[in-house]
A = this chain, B = another copy of it.
Amino acid sequence: MAGPDPLKLGLIAGGGPLPLLLAERCAAAGRPLFVVRLKGFAGAGFEAFDNAEAGVAELGRAIDLLRRAGCGAVCFAGIVARPDFAALKPDLRGLKALPGAVAAARHGDDALLRYLLAEFEREGFAVEGAHDVDAGLTLPEGPLGALAPGPEHAADVAAALAVARAIGALDIGQAAVVADGLVLAVEAQEGTAAMLGRCAELPAAVRGSADARRGVIAKAPKPIQERRMDLPVIGPETVERAAAAGLAGIAGEARGVLVVDRARTIEAADRLGLFVVGVAEPGAAR
Contacts and interface: CB of A to CB of B under 8 A. Distances in A.
A166 interface: yes
A82 B171 contact: no
A183 B188 CA distance: 6
A46 to B, nearest CB: 24
Interface stretch (A200-208, A253-261, A276-284): A200-208
A189 to B, nearest CB: 5
Given A82-B205, A83-B205, A180-B105, A172 B186 contact: yes
Interface string A69-106: 00000000000011110010000000000000000011
A108 interface: yes
A264 to B, nearest CB: 28
A170 interface: yes
Nearest to A81: B203
A163 interface: yes
Copies of this protein, total: 2
B107 A181 contact: yes
Contacts of A182: 82, 105, 108-109, 189
Contacts of A202: 189-190
A198 B194 CA distance: 9
Given A183-B188, A198-B198, A84 B172 contact: no
Interface string A238-262: 0000000000000000000000000
17 contacts: A84-B205, A105-B181, A108-B181, A108-B183, A166-B170, A167-B172, A170-B183, A171-B183, A172-B186, A173-B183, A177-B188, A182-B189, A183-B189, A185-B188, A186-B188, A189-B202, A189-B206
Interface of A: 81-84, 87, 105-109, 155, 163, 166-167, 170-173, 176-177, 180-186, 188-190, 194, 198, 201-206
A206 B82 contact: yes
> 7 closest A-B pairs (Cβ-Cβ)?
A84-B205, A172-B183, A106-B181, A186-B186, A185-B188, A184-B189, A183-B188
Nearest to A169: B166
A101 to B, nearest CB: 13
Contact of A186 (B155, B167, B177, B206): B167
